[in-house]
Structure 1
């Protein structure tokens, strides 16, 4: 039976004599699998548990989860219509104008929402191919090219609606949100607040 101790001697075996080489290899393999399952060795030791064993170093793990642990979320794509709490569907027409419509199946309101990093999305109109973007002044527009102004932080609020805040731009340190007012017109990002109904959107499955 093999066991790991914190001494610099490295791997030790129970009993008076170590087992044969094949048995040693089995123990090393088991420890390698354990290291892999629990997140591997610290960066200073690399990601090879067997190398750590050869150096007689104890392999430890951390409970902290970094962004790179969530790479499986990147590239996730959803087709949705963003329905605001003010009862308008967000749309981007072929000229790049951002507006709201009450027409449920309006082509320009069908959006491709793609996760570009953890909690950050890019929103593109399927029919026009234009990305939702926000300028430095908080104005919404459709961009033909994907760029940093097209990144929005997506957050699920307590009421179940989502908010979308510009990742790139802020106004006096405050976040600027995608927003449609009571007439379905886009509001400047700095005039909207997270708790305003105008900033709340429900991603609805297309029908």
Structure 2
């Protein structure tokens, strides 16, 4: 199994609408890649296909063993879950332990590390629905980090959050890349584009600019 994420001629639809059209891309471990493009360009769909939560109509995605951690774009504040921050982050260990298994000491350590990495350690016992939008987004990113997956995908993780949350999330993505993780995130932020190792630009579901450096 490769350490790379390889996207080979992937085509995907939303209903009858072509969303991603024969996209090729390779994402390397230890790098941060930004996916850019206008609204409707296929960014979110491509990320969902790479994550394995949206079925491709054609092509294939090769992923490293160990799975993918995926942070979706939206948070449903209208239907908050009755969880503490620690409990929400601990859900990131479910893939390895299952939802009903008791977490082991090493699992609890990973949960604590993920909360600390997103500046949430002091909020561990706070109800999730009592947090600000930026704090909730940080909790979702921490949940993904707790999975310790070799691939981290994030769909506009800093959209609409405060500056504090933005800094924590950006620092966490950079730290994961330094740890050897494949980090790919969708963004419209010019500063994030400049800081990324690579950029993939989409237009109308196609690669408008080849994957390249900053």
Q: Shorter chain as normaliser: what TM range?
A: under 0.3
Decide which structure has the larger Cα Rg and report it: 1
How does the TM-score come out when normalised to structure 1? 0.23
Does 1 or 2 have the higher relative contact order (CA < 8 Å, sep 6+)?
Answer: 2
> Which structure has more strand as a fraction of its residues?
1
How does the TM-score come out when normalised to structure 2? 0.23
